[in-house]
């Protein structure tokens, strides 16, 4: 058939901006997902799986300029479809389609696609995973918002990030009211807001210049904004920030102009309630109220937040750097179209009360949510493990417990297969060589390559006596059981289970083993 294709030389590569996930990378990534999923379930989360493509018109008009980055499917007859750009719009479409569901806590861990200029060195891919938790429904104010922030702190605690991340928090109403108080014309508010959002990367002077020269703002208005958004107190990532946030809030509350603006006052009151809830949950030290946070997306209507971490330093994946230090920012990065994983940002979200109403005449469903940039989080954790690791690999590619080996020239294939069945039936994870007469060194090598902790060795003499040998791999010279111990075949499962340490293969267990 296409046998000759090989000779013709098909391009052997994955599409630009995509990658294969394999080996310990995929094992570690699944541990990250499992850790995050467990937190979601602790808070009553349920998952919804939507198709990877949607009708094109569902996505139309939701992403502003970034709509050009949407992947379309070819028109092969029938409906016109596009690959999803994020998990939020499909969720809003689902809510509008399922009006019987008036409230839900849903999580979704899945791929999204963006025809962005890929920058693999910077971890910007065209295919990447998002990990979203959203709460939809009408509740008393700020309670779901507070729980989302609590979830964020639990996720990062369980991922071993305590002391290494900070949640920046702001409120769209405070920003909008502040812009009104400063005298920003209504039609310039979104443009000025996105200029403010650059303060994490650019000094105030540059942002001020952009506001005046590019966005046409009066210098006096820009200077008024500056008074609000310039932080005297530099934000130190990972440092406890409860006091800092309370100070920022007190400053807002004591500003008579702001408090006289009904929009700003509503936002400040909401932040006050929110911080009081977060105080009950003891997570204020992770959450920094920050007037310079604005977030790019148009659809936010209330609280907004973004998680920043110091850990985004270079790490190797398949021989290539996929992440980089926050400081090596270049101009290109500013055009990052990924709302959830900007520079140094590893999660982001906010309240969006209007999105579902864009699909349904019947009514709005208010929503609040968070999107974790799991690929970037993965890179940070991977680097930490690489930095900390000793001679043994902490993350194994397989989870095999036992390798069954033959000693001697006859190969004992039938007996190896019988023992494999005995172990599988008992729920143990076991492998053996698919050679009729395998060589002992090759069998040991296979077990070592897989990091398999135990070998069961079959010798003809021992088998004749109904015995097999259990050998723990990697024991030091001189250890009492270095040469292995003989057990009866019928006792094998029990003896192995006794020895198979209850190894904690969760991410928490891995991080604990690293003592990081």
Query: x/- contact string, 389-408, with a copy of itself (CB under 8 A)?
Result: --------xxxx--------
Is residue 44 near a copy of itself by the rule CB under 8 A? yes
| 305 marked among binding-site residues | no
| Binds a copy of itself (CB under 8 A): choice among 51, 216, 219, 474 | 51
Confirm if 107 and 47 have CB atoms less than 8 A apart. Answer: yes
Among residues 74, 76, 70, which one has the least CA distance to residue 58? 70
Is residue 444 near a copy of itself by the rule CB under 8 A? no
Closest CB to a copy of itself among 237 and 423? Answer: 423
Q: List CB contacts of 448: < 8 A, sequence separation 6 or more.
A: 473, 474
| Binds a copy of itself (CB under 8 A): choice among 183, 216, 219, 282 | 282
| 376 marked among binding-site residues | no
Quick one: CA torsion of 123, 129, 135, 136, rounded to 10 degrees? 110
Is residue 23 near a copy of itself by the rule CB under 8 A? yes
Angstrom distances, CA of residue 324 to CA of 123, 128, 454: 8, 17, 39
Helix (H, G, I), strand (E, B) or coil at 86: coil
Per the listing, tokens 């820009």 go with: 222
Window 295-324: residues binding a copy of itself (CB under 8 A): 298-299
Closest CB to a copy of itself among 35 and 261? Answer: 35
Angstrom distances, CA of residue 95 to CA of 103, 104, 106, 355: 9, 9, 11, 10
Closest CB to a copy of itself among 179 and 352? Answer: 352
| Binds a copy of itself (CB under 8 A): choice among 33, 127, 209, 226 | 127
Closest CB to a copy of itself among 222 and 428? Answer: 428
Distance CA 258, CA 353 (A): 23
| Binds a copy of itself (CB under 8 A): choice among 28, 58, 120, 217 | 58
Is residue 66 near a copy of itself by the rule CB under 8 A? no
Closest CB to a copy of itself among 52 and 313? Answer: 52
| 114 marked among binding-site residues | yes
Q: How far is the CB of 418 from a copy of itself (least distance, A)?
A: 6
Is residue 498 near a copy of itself by the rule CB under 8 A? no
| 86 marked among binding-site residues | yes
| 273 marked among binding-site residues | no
Confirm if 144 and 150 have CB atoms less than 8 A apart. Answer: no
Query: x/- contact string, 147-186, with a copy of itself (CB under 8 A)?
Result: x--x---x--------------------------------
Closest CB to a copy of itself among 388 and 417? Answer: 417
Query: x/- contact string, 90-109, with a copy of itself (CB under 8 A)?
Result: ---xx-xxx-----------
DSSP state of 119: B
| 88 marked among binding-site residues | yes
Among residues 193, 136, 145, 201, which one has the least CA distance to residue 169? 145
User: Binding residues for a copy of itself, how many (CB under 8 A)?
Assistant: 101
Confirm if 348 and 338 have CB atoms less than 8 A apart. Answer: no
Count Cβ atoms within 10 A of the Cβ of residue 223 and give its class: 0-12 exposed, 13-18 middle, 19 or more buried.
middle
| Binds a copy of itself (CB under 8 A): choice among 227, 243, 260, 424 | 424
Distance CA 84, CA 97 (A): 17
Is residue 516 near a copy of itself by the rule CB under 8 A? no
Closest CB to a copy of itself among 204 and 277? Answer: 277
| Binds a copy of itself (CB under 8 A): choice among 115, 224, 389, 497 | 115
Query: x/- contact string, 446-485, with a copy of itself (CB under 8 A)?
Result: ----x-----------------------------------
| Binds a copy of itself (CB under 8 A): choice among 46, 250, 486, 512 | 46
What is the DSSP annotation of 211-261? IIIIT---HHHHHHHHHHH--SSPPPTTS--HHHHHHHHHHHHT-HHHHHS
Count Cβ atoms within 10 A of the Cβ of residue 378 and give its class: 0-12 exposed, 13-18 middle, 19 or more buried.
buried
Helix (H, G, I), strand (E, B) or coil at 82: strand
Confirm if 37 and 109 have CB atoms less than 8 A apart. Answer: yes
Count Cβ atoms within 10 A of the Cβ of residue 174 and give its class: 0-12 exposed, 13-18 middle, 19 or more buried.
buried
Helix H or strand E segment including 89: helix 88-97
User: Residue 112: how many CB atoms within 10 A of its CB?
Assistant: 22
Closest CB to a copy of itself among 43 and 497? Answer: 43
Confirm if 84 and 55 have CB atoms less than 8 A apart. Answer: no
| Binds a copy of itself (CB under 8 A): choice among 19, 122, 124, 326 | 19
Q: How far is the CB of 406 from a copy of itself (least distance, A)?
A: 13
Is residue 53 near a copy of itself by the rule CB under 8 A? yes
Is residue 67 near a copy of itself by the rule CB under 8 A? no
| Binds a copy of itself (CB under 8 A): choice among 33, 204, 277, 444 | 277
Window 344-383: residues binding a copy of itself (CB under 8 A): 354, 357-361
Q: Which residues are annotated as a binding site?
A: 86-88, 114, 130, 134, 295, 299-300
Q: Which residues are annotated as a binding site for L-histidine?
A: 86-88, 114, 130, 134, 295, 299-300
């Amino acid at each position: 058939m296409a046998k000759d294709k090989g000779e013709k030389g098909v391009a052997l590569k994955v599409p630009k901006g995509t990658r294969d996930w394999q080996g310990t990378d995929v094992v570690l990534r699944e541990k990250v997902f499992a850790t995050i999923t467990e937190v979601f379930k602790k808070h009553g989360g349920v998952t919804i799986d939507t198709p990877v493509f949607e009708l094109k018109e569902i996505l139309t008009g939701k992403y502003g300029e970034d709509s050009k980055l949407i992947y379309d499917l070819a028109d092969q007859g029938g409906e016109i479809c596009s690959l999803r750009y994020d998990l939020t719009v499909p969720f809003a479409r689902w809510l509008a389609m399922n009006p019987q569901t008036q409230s839900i806590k849903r999580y979704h861990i899945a791929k999204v696609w963006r025809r962005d200029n890929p920058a693999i060195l910077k971890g910007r891919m065209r295919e990447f995973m998002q990990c979203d938790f959203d709460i939809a429904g009408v509740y008393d104010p700020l309670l779901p918002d507070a729980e989302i922030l609590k979830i964020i702190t639990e996720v990062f605690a369980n991922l071993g990030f305590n002391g290494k991340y900070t949640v920046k928090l702001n409120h769209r109403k405070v920003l909008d009211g502040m812009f009104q108080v400063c005298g920003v014309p209504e039609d310039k508010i979104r443009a000025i807001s996105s200029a403010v959002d650059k303060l994490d990367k650019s000094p105030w002077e540059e942002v001020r210049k952009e506001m005046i020269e590019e966005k046409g703002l009066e210098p006096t208005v820009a200077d008024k904004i500056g008074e609000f958004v310039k932080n005297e107190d530099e934000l130190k990532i990972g440092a406890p920030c409860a006091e800092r946030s309370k100070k920022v809030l007190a400053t807002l509350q004591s500003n008579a102009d702001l408090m006289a603006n009904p929009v700003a006052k509503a936002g400040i009151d909401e932040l006050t309630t929110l911080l009081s809830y977060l105080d009950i949950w003891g997570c204020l030290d992770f959450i920094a109220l920050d007037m310079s946070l604005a977030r790019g997306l148009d659809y936010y209507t209330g609280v907004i937040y973004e998680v920043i971490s110091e850990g985004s330093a270079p790490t190797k994946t398949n021989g290539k750097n996929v992440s980089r230090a926050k400081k090596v920012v270049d101009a290109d990065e500013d055009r990052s179209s990924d709302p959830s994983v900007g520079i140094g940002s590893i999660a982001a979200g906010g309240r969006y009360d209007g999105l579902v109403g864009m699909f349904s005449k019947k009514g709005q469903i208010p929503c609040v949510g968070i999107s974790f940039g799991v690929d970037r989080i993965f890179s940070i954790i991977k680097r930490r493990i690489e930095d900390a690791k000793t001679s043994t690999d902490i993350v194994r590619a397989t989870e095999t417990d036992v390798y069954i080996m033959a000693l001697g020239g006859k190969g004992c294939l039938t007996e190896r297969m019988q023992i494999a069945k005995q172990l599988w039936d008992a729920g143990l994870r076991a492998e053996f060589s698919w050679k009729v007469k395998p060589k002992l060194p090759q069998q040991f090598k296979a077990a070592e390559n897989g990091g398999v902790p135990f070998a069961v060795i079959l010798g003809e003499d021992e088998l004749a006596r109904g015995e097999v040998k259990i050998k723990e791999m990697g024991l030091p010279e001189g250890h009492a059981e270095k040469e292995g111990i003989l057990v009866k075949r019928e006792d094998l499962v029990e003896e192995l289970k006794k020895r198979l340490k209850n190894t904690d293969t969760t991410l928490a267990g891995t991080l604990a083993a690293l003592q990081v």
